[in-house]
Amino acid sequence: MRVALFLTCVNDTLYPETGRAVVKLLTRLGVDVDFPMAQTCCGQAHYNTGYRHEAEPLARHFSDVFGGYEAIVTPSGSCGAMVRELYPRMGERARAEGRGDTLAATLAPVVPKTYELTEFLVDVLGVTDVGAYYPHRVTYHPTCHGLRGLGLGDRPRRLLQAVKGLELAELPGAEECCGFGGTFALKNSDVSAAMGADKVRNAESTGAEVLCAADNSCLMHIGGTMARLSTGMRPVHIAEILASTEEEPAA
């Protein structure tokens, strides 16, 4: 199977270790993974801030870059939800604006082939035990677009529960938003920061060393809040936990 890694612009620029972890993990599971160099951004920030027309060229670019692959895997619930939920909506809106079916037809091929990482592991590869080893106490925060947009359900937790050495602690109020919300974090920074602080306090109460999620944008906000509140906890992307092994443990 020809699988493309859609890393996302945020991960590519700020969190390359998450990308390396995905490559290591998928390679270990026998997947031939490629990173198309022309990839950039799915357009989510544009779309969700109200710039749908600016997001359209980015969606078309995404489709050009990834259309030829059998599967597209992304370690981001919200970017995955952008492609799966909102690309079809962009096509519909263009049609409603009298611009015909071109955009819908251009975007349609990539929609069903795009998987968030934990979905790809559980649904496509059919594995929950990926042979990982991570001897730490971890709590898991289900990010909103993965949880309510993609419907990831218990897939991430099942993967974490199968990790050797990992002790999974229940996060109180797990399904409440962390307060990131893209440009919301800047436009409504008071409310965003208050939501982040509450999330971090709940995470602290679990006694875990690590808060894990499947979205680095949310982790950037949660982690930034943890550092500011000097909690001693750290944020780690789920890919890095699943990539960690006894031979090559993650830090």
Partner 1 sequence: MSGTFVGMPAFPEAAHEAVNNPTLRGNLRHATHTIRAKRAKAVAEVSDWAELREAGKRIKDHTLRHLDRYLVQLEESVTAAGGTVHWAADAAEANRIVADLVKATGESEVVKVKSMATQEIGLNEALEAEGIRAYETDLAELIVQLGKDRPSHILVPAIHRNRGEIRDIFTREMSEWGRPAPEGLTDTPAELAEAARLHLREKFLRAKVGVSGANFMIAETGTMVVVESEGNGRMCLTLPETLISVVGIEKILPTWQDLEVFLQTLPRSSTAERMNPYTSMWTGTTDSEAADGPRNFHLVLLDNGRTDTLADEVGRQALRCIRCSACLNVCPVYERAGGHAYGSVYPGPIGAILSPQLRGTASEIDASLPYASSLCGACYEVCPVAIDIPEVLVHLRERVVEGGQVTREGNKVVLKPSKGHAAERAAMRAARWAFTHPGALRGGQRLASRTRRLHPRTLPGPGRAWSESRDLPTVPPEPFRDWWQRTRGGEGGAK
Q: Map the footprint of partner 1 across residues 164-223, applying CB under 8 A.
A: 175-177, 179-197, 220-221, 223
Contacts of 80 (CB under 8 A, 6+ apart): 74, 114, 115, 116, 119, 145, 146, 149, 150
* Minimum distance of partner 1 from residue 3's CB (angstroms): 12
Residue ranges in 60-99 that form contacts with partner 1 under rule CB under 8 A: 61, 89, 96
Burial label for 125, CB within 10 Å (0-12, 13-18, 19+), is middle
* Minimum distance of partner 1 from residue 46's CB (angstroms): 6
* Minimum distance of partner 1 from residue 247's CB (angstroms): 14
Residue ranges in 27-46 that form contacts with partner 1 under rule CB under 8 A: 27, 33-35, 37-41, 43, 45-46
Strand partners, 164: 133
Rounded CA-CA distance 46/29 in Å is: 35
Of the pair 160, 177, the CB lying nearest partner 1 is at 177
* Minimum distance of partner 1 from residue 78's CB (angstroms): 9
* Minimum distance of partner 1 from residue 188's CB (angstroms): 5
Q: Quick check: 228 binds partner 1 (CB under 8 A)?
A: yes
- Strand positions, DSSP E, 16-144: 32-34, 71-74, 114-116, 137-140
Residue ranges in 116-145 that form contacts with partner 1 under rule CB under 8 A: 144-145
Of the pair 78, 166, the CB lying nearest partner 1 is at 78
CA angle 153, 158, 164 (to 5 degrees): 155
Element (H, E) at 213: strand 210-213
Count of residues engaged in binding partner 1, rule: CB under 8 A: 72
**Would you call 246 helix, strand, or coil by DSSP?**
coil
Burial label for 138, CB within 10 Å (0-12, 13-18, 19+), is buried
* Minimum distance of partner 1 from residue 228's CB (angstroms): 5
Q: Which residue in the set 6, 24, 94, 110 belongs to the binding site for partner 1 (CB under 8 A)?
A: 24
